[in-house]
DNA sequence: CTGAAAGCGCTTACAG
DNA sequence: CTGAAAGCGCTTACAG
């Protein structure tokens, strides 16, 4: 075999094997319509030439890509350099799930303000899109509607696309909020506060809030006694929110935060004011990001199963692409009791 | 304009604009050889049809992809569900750097044992490959040589490809080790231990070890007084290594760990044995992963600048692809003093 | 400044 | 079981 200039093509193999290029193509995709001997010969030559199917050519012909795109968008206010650890964990599980199913993953960060919605599938770079991120849901929804109108294949994490539950994988946030509320009640706490946006601009956080309120009401605590303050999912926002709450003269002995990052910032602010966690204020977070177990005190939190979530996102997107029915998936949250709530022995 | 069945192509635009398809193609790429009026008309129609260039077709024709592949491989022993936070941070900065340069990023996890080396560029899915990961360098090197032989465009983080510094972006690990050693010496520590493989199976860790030894020798402390134990970059390995060191009857008041993950595990093991950090043992890690500031005590560590590293990886790979000379890049490490070394006030 | 034509490397009816 | 041929949707010499 003489070395060829440039990469080998199926024609080179055909020439060397003494068959037609069509046969080579069939053999390489292991078509049952090809004689085993012919196949063996072709495989051997392909291996020798270090031949790889040109994906651009095969995708162009097949009109498909074998690739999924992950669009990760963030609140534009967030520091550029840091990605929310929760999404990073999701990224990990999504990447694994893709590999397992023989798909490639195209990853891209986006600002919510950009025109991210249109391009990946239309330009044939991906068969479908996975959306991941926090941000104002009202802005988000608009893009989602464009995607819907363009019949792009997509799934998203967390927030439901109005009237289309099949496009979403989400945690049971209401249940998560209930778990947090109930647990805090069990610790004998009476005066509650919640950090995180609790409006339809942030449906996930809202559900967490509502879940907690639900638990409190069952225990005879009225919603109007609960202090609530908006916070995006960053440490800084949690820190600031506590200071604001105190400036407003609000007092509380139980604090439920819409995310761990908020909780960690809040704990810092509380400690800076000389308050003890959990003695003075019991704190529960949400997500169970890796740092949660390292904060002081270790953070009690509502865990979201990122492995399952990532897996389901990929599985459902693939089903959508293949026009198969999807399972409606809701991930069940789980409370991880550590020290910040005052329950576990220290 | 009547809506077209399926996606619009450049022929549809040509028909609508009353020009040839060649002209459309030129106009869309903003070729100076096209009349501005014609361009305007074509752009307007393209927008109306929500036209997007088919990347498979254009890549096939241009024989390029506009895509970079990131191969993230891990020690197979590591728990499947967790990715080393340091690499996750790198992933973030690489993704950003790619977007900024108009490239897509294909991400893939690999076991070091797999045949990952060949496919991405050969199959025309990417113009080049970024390699990221820990693992036995001896195994790694072999793959790298294959890549080299195949003339694949690639860059890698950390370990130098024998005789080819241009393919690597690395921290000055030797300097990092020195900083750690010097700092520990300044705290008055005399009896040193190092956790991490210090052989050519792990050149980065080895250099960190050597840097520390170098600092110690300058202070008159001989290398043979230093306790060293292998550990891969996980908490568990750090935890186990401490127990083993104690079982061997080794005692030390200064501990330098080849990574933060090792350090965090080591601190847990020390504390479990009733030893105080930093009073009994001062600990310094390496990487400055996000959890480092949250461990108790907060971890003093040698920071690697992941933003710069990710950026340089992308920049150099792009240069390699375009046959331009690359800058030899070495990232300068920086010591972040927190509490685990006993230096900062608590 | 514009058009007709070739061709990138495959996959897949169609025919035998 | 195999081959000849068309065609996926572009880009880019070549010619005018």
| pLDDT tens digits for range B259-290 | 999 999 999 899 989 999 999 999 999 999 87
Task: Report pLDDT for B310.
Answer: 92
pLDDT at A124 over 60: yes
- For B286-304, write each residue's pLDDT tens digit: 999 877 887 788 899 999 9
Percent of chain B with pLDDT over 70: 91
pLDDT band at A346 (very low <50, low <70, confident <90, very high): very low
Could you give the percent of chain B with pLDDT greater than 90? 48
The CA–C1' separation of B35 and D14, in angstroms, is 20
- Across the interface, of A7, A80, A124, the residue whose CB is closest to B122 is A7
Q: How far is CA B56 from CA A108, A209, B257, in A?
A: 19, 46, 47
CB contact (8 A) between residue B7 and residue A88: no
Nearest-angstrom CA–CA distance, B283 and B342: 8
The answer, yes or no, to whether residue A165 has pLDDT greater than 80, is yes
pLDDT over 90 at A301, yes or no:
yes
- pLDDT at site A345: 53
Per-residue pLDDT at A89: 82
Q: For strand C, is any atom closer than 7 Å to the CB of A57? A: yes
Nucleotides on strand C lying under 7 Å from protein C-beta: 1-5, 7-13
Give the model's pLDDT for residue B247. Answer: 94
pLDDT in tens, A258-267: 999 999 999 9
Across chain A, what does the average pLDDT equal? 87
* DSSP summary character for residue A127: S
Check if residue A60 sits with its Cβ under 7 angstroms from strand C.
yes
pLDDT in tens, A88-117: 788 888 988 888 887 889 888 766 555 555
**Mean pLDDT estimate for chain B:** 87
pLDDT tens-digit series, residues A327-337 = 878 999 999 99
With cut-offs at 50, 70 and 90, classify the pLDDT of residue A118.
Answer: low
* CB-closest option in B104, B106, B124 to A56: B124
Q: How far apart are the first and last CA of chain A?
A: 71
Q: What is the pLDDT of residue B322?
A: 86
Q: What is the CA radius of gyration of chain B?
A: 26
DSSP class of residue A259? S
- In which order are the strands placed within the sheet that holds A154-157? A329-331, A168-171, A154-157, A128-133, A67-74, A104-111, B104-111, B67-74, B128-133, B154-157, B168-171, B329-331
Tell me: the pLDDT tens digits for B51-93?
A: 889 989 999 999 888 899 998 876 544 444 466 778 878 888 8
Nearest-CB residue to A123 (from B52, B91, B295): B52
Question: B294–A264: do the CB atoms touch at under 8 Å?
Answer: yes
Whether B121 shows a pLDDT value over 60: the answer reads yes
Distance of A138 CA from C16 C1′ (whole Å): 61
- Is the pLDDT at B334 greater than 80? The verdict is yes
Query: How far apart are the CA of A41 and the nearest CA of chain B, in angstroms?
Result: 21
Banded model confidence at residue B315, pLDDT cuts 50, 70, 90: very high
Q: What six digits make up the tokens of A21?
A: 């290029």
Q: Which residue of B has its CA nearest to A119?
A: B52
pLDDT of B258: 96
- pLDDT classification of A150: cutoffs 50, 70, 90: confident
CA–centroid distance for A189 within its chain: 32
Q: A3 pLDDT exceeds 70?
A: no
The residue with tokens 């080895």 is: B206
What pLDDT sits at residue B183?
A: 96
Residues of A in contact with B7 (CB under 8 A): 122
The alpha carbon dihedral of A293, A299, A304, A310 has a sign of: negative
Q: What is the 3-state secondary structure (H, E, C) of chain B?
A: CCCCCCCCCHHHHHHHHCCCHHHHHHHHCCCCCCCHHHHHHHHHHHHHCCCCCCHHHHHHHHCCCCEEEEEEEECCCCCCCCCCHHHHHHHHHHHHHHHHCCCEEEEEEEECCCCCCCHHHHCCCCCEEEEEECCCHHHHHHHHHHHHHCCCCEEEECCCECCEHHHEEEECHHHHHHHHHHHHHHCCCCCEEEECCCCCCCHHHHHHHHHHHHHHHHCCCCHHHCEEECCCCCHHHHHHHHHHHHHCCCCCCEEEECCHHHHHHHHHHHHHCCCCCCCCCEEEEEECCHHHHHCCCCCEEEECCHHHHHHHHHHHHHHHHCCCCCCCEEECCEEECCCCCCCCCC
pLDDT, tens digit (0-9, with 9 covering 90-100), for B143-172: 788 888 878 889 999 877 778 888 999 999
Of all nucleotides, the one whose C1′ comes closest to residue B12's CA is: D9
Burial group, residue B233, by CB count within 10 angstroms (0-12, 13-18, 19+) = buried
Contact criterion met (CB < 8 Å) for A52 and B264? no
Cross-chain CB nearest to A88 (options B54, B88, B93): B88
CB contact under 8 A, B106 and A108: no
For residue B3, what pLDDT band results from cuts at 50, 70 and 90?
Answer: very low
Provide the CA A8 to C1' D15 distance, Å, integer.
33
**Which residues partner with B341 through β-bridges?**
none
The structure tokens 């501005």 sit at B36
CA-CA-CA-CA torsion sign (B269, B275, B281, B287): positive
Are A106 and B109 an interchain contact pair (Cβ–Cβ within 8 Å)? no
pLDDT in tens, B7-34: 789 999 999 999 999 999 999 988 888 8
> Residue B87: its chain A contacts at CB < 8 A?
none
Identify which of B43, B12, B8, B2 has the alpha carbon closest to the alpha carbon of residue B26: B43
Domains of chain A: 10-53 (1.10.260.40), 67-170+306-331 (3.40.50.2300), 173-305 (3.40.50.2300)
**To the nearest 10°, the Cα dihedral for B10, B11, B13, B15?**
160
Select the residue from A80, A110, A123 to test the B interface by mutation, using most B Cβ atoms within 10 A: A123
Residue whose Cα is closest to the C1' of D3 = A20
Q: B-side interface with A, Cβ within 8 Å? A: 7, 50, 52-57, 59-60, 65, 67, 72, 80-83, 85, 88, 91-93, 95-96, 99, 104-109, 118-119, 122-125, 150, 264, 290-291, 294-296, 307
Residue A80 has pLDDT above 60, yes or no: no
CA distance A129 to A103: 12
């Amino acid at each position: 075999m003489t070395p060829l200039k440039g990469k080998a093509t199926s024609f080179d193999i055909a020439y060397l094997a003494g068959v037609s290029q069509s046969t080579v193509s069939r053999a390489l995709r292991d078509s049952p319509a090809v004689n085993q001997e012919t196949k063996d010969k072709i495989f051997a030559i392909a291996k020798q030439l270090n031949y790889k199917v040109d994906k651009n050519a095969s995708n162009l012909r097949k009109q498909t890509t074998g690739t999924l795109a992950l669009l990760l968008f963030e609140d534009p206010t967030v520091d550029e350099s840091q990605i929310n650890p929760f999404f990073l964990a999701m990224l990990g599980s999504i990447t694994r799930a893709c590999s397992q199913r023989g798909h490639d993953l195209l990853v891209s960060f986006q600002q919510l303000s950009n025109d991210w919605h249109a391009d990946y599938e239309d330009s044939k770079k991906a068969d479908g899109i996975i959306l991941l991120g926090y941000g104002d849901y009202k802005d988000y929804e608009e893009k989602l509607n464009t995607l819907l109108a363009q019949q792009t294949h997509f799934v998203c994490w967390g927030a439901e696309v109005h009237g289309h539950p099949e496009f979403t994988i989400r945690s049971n946030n209401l249940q998560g909020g209930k778990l947090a509320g109930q647990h805090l009640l069990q610790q004998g706490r009476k005066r509650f506060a919640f950090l995180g946006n609790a409006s339809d601009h942030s449906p996930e956080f809202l559900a967490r809030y509502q879940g907690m309120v639900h638990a409190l009401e069952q225990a005879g605590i009225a919603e109007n006694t609960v202090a609530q303050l908006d916070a995006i999912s960053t440490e800084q926002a949690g820190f600031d929110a506590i200071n604001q709450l105190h400036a407003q003269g609000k007092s509380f002995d139980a604090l439920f935060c819409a995310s761990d990052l908020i909780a960690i910032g809040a704990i810092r602010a509380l400690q800076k004011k000389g308050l003890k966690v959990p003695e003075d204020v019991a704190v529960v977070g949400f997500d169970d990001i890796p740092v949660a177990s390292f904060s002081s005190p270790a953070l009690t939190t509502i865990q979201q199963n990122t492995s399952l979530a990532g897996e389901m996102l990929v599985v459902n997107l693939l089903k959508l692409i293949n026009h198969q029915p999807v399972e409606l998936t809701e991930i069940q949250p789980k409370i991880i009791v550590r020290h910040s709530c005052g329950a576990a022995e220290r």
